Amino acid sequence: MDAIECITTRMSIRGFRPDAVPTEVLREVFDVARWSPSYKNSQPWEVVVVSGEKKAALTREMIELLENGYAPSPDLPEPAGWPAAEQARIDHLFRRRAEATGIDLKDPAIVRKAKKANFSFYGAPHAIYLFQDSSLSLWSLFDLGLFAQSLMLTAHARGLGTVPQAFATDYAREIKEFLGIPATRRLVLGLSIGYPDKESPANRFRTDRATTDEIVRWLE
C-alpha cells in the first residue's frame, strides 16, 4: 500500500474484533509514528497504551462517572461554536450518518449512548492515550496531531483499525489519576486500536469531504 492509498482508504473504525494485537505490531506503530515532524524536533508526545483488565476498569470508571452525572471536563474543551463553513460540514455529516445508521448525534439520548460506546473503545482490545506537557504552545498541539495521523496511517498499513476520540478524554483528571500520569500533562486524545470487525455495520459508513476547489485558492 503506498502513502496515497493509505491516506485515502483510512477511515475511523468503530467496530473491532476482540483479539489482542501482538505487542511487536503495536510497537512498530509507535516506532514509525515517532518519525513525525515537530517544531524544532521537540517531539512533544507521550503515549500510554491500555489493555486487558486495566482497560476494562478504565471503561467501568468512565461509564460510572457518566451515569452519576459528572460533567465532562476535558483538557481541550469542546468548541462553544463553529464558524459557518465548518458547522455546515458537521451538519452534513450528522445528517448523512443519521440517514445511513439511525445514529442522530443531535439527540442527547443518542449522544449518551455514543459516549458509552466511546468509553468502551468500541470493543477494541487496546486504548491509546496521547499526552503532552500543559505548558507547551499550540505548535506542540499541532505536532501531536501530526503524530496521531502517522500512528493511524501506520496502523492502517498493517491492517489495524483506529478511531481518534475526543470523547475518550471527557474525564481528563480522573483518567490521568487512573493511569498515573502527572496532572501537569494535558490529555489531548484517546484512540481505539485493534483489528477491524468487517461485519460491523458501524464500519460500513464512509464520510466524504469538501472538494479541493472549496478549500484551495490558486494565486499567480
Ligand X SMILES: Cc1cc2nc3c(=O)[nH]c(=O)nc-3n(C[C@H](O)[C@H](O)[C@H](O)COP(=O)(O)O)c2cc1C
> Contact residues for ligand X (CB under 6 A)?
11-12, 14, 93, 118, 163-167, 207
* Distance of closest approach, residue 170 Cβ to ligand X, in angstroms: 9
- DSSP annotation of 201: G
Judge whether 194 and 21 are in contact, CB under 8 Å: yes
Which amino acid is located at 146 in the chain?
A: L
* Distance of closest approach, residue 11 Cβ to ligand X, in angstroms: 4
At 21, give phi and psi (nearest 5°).
Answer: -90, 130
Instruction: State which residue, 14 or 176, has the beta carbon closest to ligand X.
Output: 14
Instruction: State which residue, 12 or 150, has the beta carbon closest to ligand X.
Output: 12
Instruction: State which residue, 11 or 146, has the beta carbon closest to ligand X.
Output: 11
Helix (H) or strand (E) holding 47: strand 46-51
Instruction: State which residue, 23 or 99, has the beta carbon closest to ligand X.
Output: 99
Q: Which of 220, 198, 219 is nearest to 15 (CA)?
A: 198
- Rounded to an integer, what distance in angstroms lies between the CA atom of residue 110 and that of residue 33? 34
Instruction: State which residue, 12 or 120, has the beta carbon closest to ligand X.
Output: 12
* Distance of closest approach, residue 9 Cβ to ligand X, in angstroms: 10
* Distance of closest approach, residue 45 Cβ to ligand X, in angstroms: 15
Instruction: State which residue, 154 or 165, has the beta carbon closest to ligand X.
Output: 165
Q: Which residues of 173-205 are buried (b: 16+ CB within 10 A; e: fewer)?
A: ebbbeebebeeebbbbbbbbbbbbbeebebbeb
* Distance of closest approach, residue 173 Cβ to ligand X, in angstroms: 18
* Distance of closest approach, residue 219 Cβ to ligand X, in angstroms: 29
Q: Which of 10, 3, 2 is nearest to 155 (CA)?
A: 10
